Homo-oligomer: A and B are copies of this chain.
């Protein structure tokens, strides 16, 4: 078998307890003894047994991070930021208590979300961060709240990042003003003179989808256009949905002059579809995204969108999860979504009626 604490203790001529104290450094140990222990550790190439110490100390160094899909930049950026808050020093000093992130891909499936929470509870995770929007289904909301309550009861810190507070559980929350973002985007288009807008929404029954749609409608109402044909098509948060959705919108209303996409990735699909149709952006149709992912500025034309401070939010969530930042009042921090007006939007060439 491998080297254990006892081996190190024997080699250093001290008790196991002393070795443990040296390694964890939260207890006074004589300098002399200390270096003797450290030397023995070196010589024996001893590596702490994580499970054993987790069991004995009833704590763990694991932090769960739930994402829909880590290959989606939206989640990758947040997850990366969460992680950056617990990354070890480059020199590898002080590894004790070093937290490690377990990133779990739920694929947007509510069931899998619950499954992963169980798995994380099994690992006795120190904290759990749930990122991105969630499904709006009473049954799932309740199941989720129950699971999270069990986790909190077991001492696991729970933080929500990029989704609204969960009814039935008072987890710390870092969220985005999705409504405001969509409203600003819509206002921007209206102020340019657009009147025939198409909205490509995300999957139904998801918080982000609903909030963005609400912001869109709010802007329309304020402009006295509430009654206007609110052309809306739902789809997934991916490029293909953008492509198909744009074609569908054009089929329904060939005269539309602007399309608001559910997010930047979808917007890319929209742009591709418009190009394939021989329509120019923004001369014929203006396009907007959402999120301001890194590639948005490199799209041609550069994409008008709203910026979500994903990295800031993720980092904040990470700190809250590690209890290294005082929680915001009320437990909820909301990040503003700034309009990034770029080249994909312009006044319509044929003003509306």
Residues of A near any B CB (own CB < 8 A): 2, 45, 47-52, 54-55, 60-62, 69-73, 76-77, 79-80, 83-84, 87-88, 90-92, 95, 98, 100-105, 107, 109, 111-112, 114-116, 118-119, 121-124, 150, 154, 239, 268, 271-272, 294-295, 298-300
- Residues of B with C-beta under 8 A to A90: 107, 109, 111-112, 115
Would A2 and B154 count as touching, CB distance under 8 A?
yes
Would B76 and A95 count as touching, CB distance under 8 A?
no
Residue of B at shortest CB range from A116? B88
- CA of A112 to CA of B91, assembled, Å: 7
Would B112 and A87 count as touching, CB distance under 8 A?
yes
- Minimum distance in angstroms from A93 CB to a CB of chain B: 9
What is the count of identical protomers in the complex? 2
Would A92 and B112 count as touching, CB distance under 8 A?
yes
- CA of A329 to CA of B52, assembled, Å: 37
Would B71 and A77 count as touching, CB distance under 8 A?
yes
- Residues of B with C-beta under 8 A to A123: 50-51, 61-62, 100
Would B111 and A104 count as touching, CB distance under 8 A?
no
- CA of A73 to CA of B265, assembled, Å: 13
- CA of A239 to CA of B84, assembled, Å: 21
- CA of A154 to CA of B121, assembled, Å: 26
- Residues of B with C-beta under 8 A to A101: 102-104
- Residues of B with C-beta under 8 A to A294: 239
- Residues of B with C-beta under 8 A to A116: 88
Q: What would 17 more interface pairs be, CB under 8 Å, given A47-B150, A70-B103, A298-B299?
A: A45-B150, A48-B122, A50-B51, A50-B124, A51-B51, A51-B54, A71-B76, A71-B77, A73-B76, A83-B105, A90-B115, A100-B119, A101-B104, A102-B103, A103-B103, A239-B294, A268-B298
Would A71 and B80 count as touching, CB distance under 8 A?
yes
Would B70 and A76 count as touching, CB distance under 8 A?
yes
- Residues of B with C-beta under 8 A to A61: 123
- CA of A49 to CA of B125, assembled, Å: 11
- CA of A27 to CA of B112, assembled, Å: 27
- Minimum distance in angstroms from A85 CB to a CB of chain B: 11
Q: A70-B80, A80-B71 are in contact. Are A55 and B47 (CB under 8 A)?
A: no
- CA of A45 to CA of B154, assembled, Å: 12
- CA of A118 to CA of B91, assembled, Å: 12
Q: List 27 A-B pairs, Cβ < 8 Å.
A: A47-B122, A47-B150, A49-B55, A50-B123, A51-B51, A51-B55, A51-B124, A61-B123, A70-B79, A70-B80, A70-B83, A71-B73, A72-B76, A84-B105, A87-B105, A87-B107, A88-B115, A88-B116, A91-B111, A95-B118, A95-B119, A98-B119, A100-B123, A101-B103, A268-B298, A295-B295, A295-B298
- Minimum distance in angstroms from A81 CB to a CB of chain B: 8
